[in-house]
Amino acid sequence: MVLLMGASSAVFGGTWAQVLLVLVASAAGQATIGWTNDAHDSAADVAAGRLTKPTVQGVIRPEELRLPIVVSATLTVPLSFVAAGWIGGCAHIAAVASALMYNFFLARTAWSWLPYAVSFALMPLFVAQAISPARWPTVSLMGLSVLVGVIAHLLNAIPDINADRDSGWGGLAVSLGRRRSQGLVAVLICVAVVLVTAIIRDFYVI
């Protein structure tokens, strides 16, 4: 996600300084999200045998993540405003807050898709405002971002459906089941392709 934000700001005309600020602010936000997820879900990750997690491997204990989380979360706020001003900064902070809502409250519910949709929708606003306060993402681009967020969530959750169901956990993919989740992904991808086509057409018309 950090590289995607940096690449997006570069593609849409950001200077090297603007791209660097987007990268640094995004890195602080993603660190906060990732570390809180590892700390909060450490017991669940052990039960599910997720051996790629550092807390499962024993590389770090969950309680040792508290200080890094506080530092990264504290840095996310000023870095977001420095990178993208008040509007873009608030968008980035809200995106991080939405992801934290997923980590702490919604990950195991049928609403697990919502934080992904919200966070991904806010990312174009953050990037656009980081380039210039006069720039705003189109409705089509924000709609595409919502679709990408939900698709990413489902693709990430589908492989773990059986393990999550066996553990008594919920989530949109668990609620739908593997086949319907895959069908929904296919439909969303088709809609995303239509939106991409519209975005490219509008870009060349302009």
Is the predicted pLDDT of residue 78 greater than 60, yes or no? yes
Q: Please say whether the dihedral angle defined by the alpha carbons of residues 182, 187, 190 and 195, taken in this order, is positive or negative.
A: negative
Q: Can you give the pLDDT at residue 53?
A: 77
pTM, full prediction? 0.92
Residue listed under structure tokens 């089509």: 140
Of residues 14 and 147, the one with the higher pLDDT is 147
CA–CA separation, 184 vs 177, rounded Å? 11
Model confidence pLDDT, tens digit, residues 140-190: 999 999 999 999 999 999 998 988 887 778 899 999 999 999 999 999 999
- Alpha carbon dihedral 39, 44, 47, 53, in 10-degree steps, equals -40
Q: Which residues of 53-63 are buried (b: 16+ CB within 10 A; e: fewer)?
A: bbbbeeebebe
Q: Are 45 and 55 in contact (CB under 8 A)?
A: yes
Q: Can you give the pLDDT at residue 48?
A: 66
206 falls in which pLDDT band (50, 70, 90)? Answer: very low
Residue listed under structure tokens 């593609």: 11
Q: Can you give the pLDDT at residue 2?
A: 87
203 falls in which pLDDT band (50, 70, 90)? Answer: low
204 falls in which pLDDT band (50, 70, 90)? Answer: low
Specify the long-range contacts of residues 167-175, CB closer than 8 Å, at least 24 apart.
167/44, 167/47, 167/48, 169/44, 169/108, 170/108, 170/109, 170/110, 170/112, 171/107, 171/108, 171/109, 171/110, 171/112, 172/110, 172/111, 172/112, 172/113, 173/112, 175/110
Q: Can you give the pLDDT at residue 1?
A: 82
Q: Can you give the pLDDT at residue 133?
A: 93
Q: Residue 64 is encoded by which pair of tokens?
A: 């040792």
Q: Can you give the pLDDT at residue 197?
A: 87
**Mean pLDDT, range 61-87, rounded to an integer:** 95
Give kind and range of the element (H or E) at residue 150: helix 139-157
Helix 178-205 vs helix 139-157: crossing angle, to nearest 10:
150
Range with lowest mean pLDDT among 4-18, 110-124, 191-205: 191-205
Is the predicted pLDDT of residue 99 greater than 80, yes or no? yes
Q: pLDDT > 90: what percent of the chain?
A: 68
